[in-house]
Amino acid sequence: MGAIRGWAWLVANELALEMKQRDFGAMMMGLAVLAALVLGMIEPLNPRQGAAVGAGILWMGLVYAGMLMVSHTFQREASGSVQVGLVLAIGRMPLLLSKLAVGVGYLWASQGASGLVWMALTGLDGHGAWGALIATWGLSSLGMALIAELLAAIQVQLPDRQPALWLVFMAAQVPVGLSDAGAVRAIFSGANPGQWIGALMALAVLFSALWWLLGDVIWEV
Amino acid sequence: MDLILAGVALLMLGAGYWALVGAPNDVTLGASQRIFYVHMGAAVVVAVAFSVAFAASLAYLWRRDQVWDRLAAASVEAGMVFASMLLATGVLWGRVVWGVWWTWDPRLTATLLLWVLFMGYLVIRDAYPDLDRRARIAAVLAIVFYADVPLDYLTVRWFKSLHPVVLTSHGAEMPPVMLLTLLMNALAMLSVWALWVVLRVRVDRSEENLAQVKHQLRWHIRQSIKEDR
């Protein structure tokens, strides 16, 4: 019971801190609105173009905002050489789980909100496949949060900031981003997103296994 | 070692001869098809090199022996040379056959991604001064990045790709003489990679021994200065 309370406390605090900052969610939303406005002014988007561009915009928002946000949650742990969360949490796993819960929740909400704004601005509809859309955003948020968490945990242990790690961050998320964009495009176009959602599920399972097996190794002291 | 070097050199010469002269020209692509022997040979080495790095990283996390970390690092380092060769020959072949230097085809993109990831592995590795922490983090990265290797292989089967599929469920889609040339080139490149890895591991071990000797020497010098005072 104490462990659950500690974990819930961590999640609530992390979420509160992220919500207070507002910049990453606003970035995704701003990206969706700006892209719709600029592209609409240049040439009105037809549904096919809108589906493709929308999927791409959401992917970009997901990768950049997610990468920054998850990394940001881990930066809070680095205070000198002391991992604050590790001291406060009952163990490493509650800390990692709290970061994961925050990452997935935040990415899911950001993707959903910016996706809905994009749909409203461009007149696209999900062809009634709301369940598939929610599952796509949920699975991609999970896949990305898992891999971003592993890399963010490595990042805070580096003696100096390494630009190479940011490049690796983006590259490692391409398979998830690609499957996410493919599924969203298929849903907006009225096609079957099954293959893409299957790929997202496979990636989520793979990264969950890696996260579970390697999470503790990263935090060893 | 000299005998092994001579053997590898002979193998490379033989493979080079068959790739450039011995094997017949392709019916449709002509002499440009000969790039394929180097390209495919490099692809085999990349798959083996990153698989060895993956296995060595797992072995390191299990046994915590620096030998496995040295093997993983050497394997990636030598593998990156062949990955660069794979991309370069692919670009040349694409210019001849597709008429463009580069296209964002799923296979090409996945291979570039693989190159970026393992280049990142080498750069991040060097950022850690502490040997144990470096080995631990590098092992995690190698295991995570290895997820892209099967993805690279499967892209031409899963997505609409321009890239030809050489190995199908019916075996290799080419005449026996071309297959033999390909196998010879793959074997020659694999032996170069293996030799490189062995030499790199030896150099790494020597560097670590040298660092230890320097550390001990510094300690003795400090002690003798203290005694003199």
CA distance B121 to B129: 15
CA distance B124 to A164: 7
Instruction: Report the chain B residue with the minimal C-alpha distance to residue A153.
Output: B137
CA distance B134 to A210: 19
**Six-digit token pair at B119?**
């280049």
pLDDT tens digits for A63-111?
Answer: 666 677 777 777 766 655 455 555 555 566 777 788 888 888 878 887 7
Tell me, what DSSP letter sits at residue B30? Answer: B
Tell me, what DSSP letter sits at residue B99? Answer: S
Give phi and psi for A192, each to the nearest 5: -85, 120
Spell out which residues of chain B touch residue A195, defining contact as CB-CB under 8 Å: 158
The answer, yes or no, to whether residue B166 has pLDDT greater than 60, is yes
Spell out which residues of chain B touch residue A200, defining contact as CB-CB under 8 Å: none
Residue B31 CA, distance from chain mean position: 26
Contact A217 B136 (CB under 8 A): yes
Q: How many CA atoms lie within 13 A of B150 on its CB side?
A: 7
What is the ipTM metric for this complex?
0.73
The answer, yes or no, to whether residue A216 has pLDDT greater than 80, is no
What is the maximum span of chain A, computed from C-alpha positions, in angstroms? 58
pTM over 0.95: no
Spell out which residues of chain B touch residue A220, defining contact as CB-CB under 8 Å: 136
- Collect contacts of B12-20 with beta carbons under 8 A, ≥24 apart: B12/B188, B12/B192, B14/B184, B14/B188, B15/B41, B15/B181, B15/B184, B15/B185, B15/B187, B15/B188, B15/B189, B16/B188, B18/B180, B18/B181, B18/B184, B18/B185, B19/B181, B19/B185
CB atoms within 10 A of CB A44: 11
The answer, yes or no, to whether residue A119 has pLDDT greater than 90, is no
**Six-digit token pair at B175?**
């005449």
Question: What is residue B95's predicted lDDT score, i.e. its pLDDT?
Answer: 87
By CB atoms closer than 10 A (0-12, 13-18, 19+), residue A180 is: buried
Geometric angle at alpha carbon A119, from A114 and A122, rounded to 5°? 120
Range from A29-43, A56-70, A200-214 that averages highest in pLDDT = A200-214
Give the model's confidence band at A50: pLDDT under 50 very low, under 70 low, under 90 confident, else very high. low
Which of B61, B123, B136 has its CB closest to that of A164? B123
Interstrand relation of B171-172 and B167-168 (parallel, antiparallel or unpaired): antiparallel
> Residue B172: in which H helix or E strand, if any?
strand B171-172
Q: Within an 8 Å CB–CB cutoff, is residue B128 touching chain A?
A: yes
Tell me, what DSSP letter sits at residue B127? Answer: T
Q: Give the residue-averaged pLDDT of A52-57.
A: 69
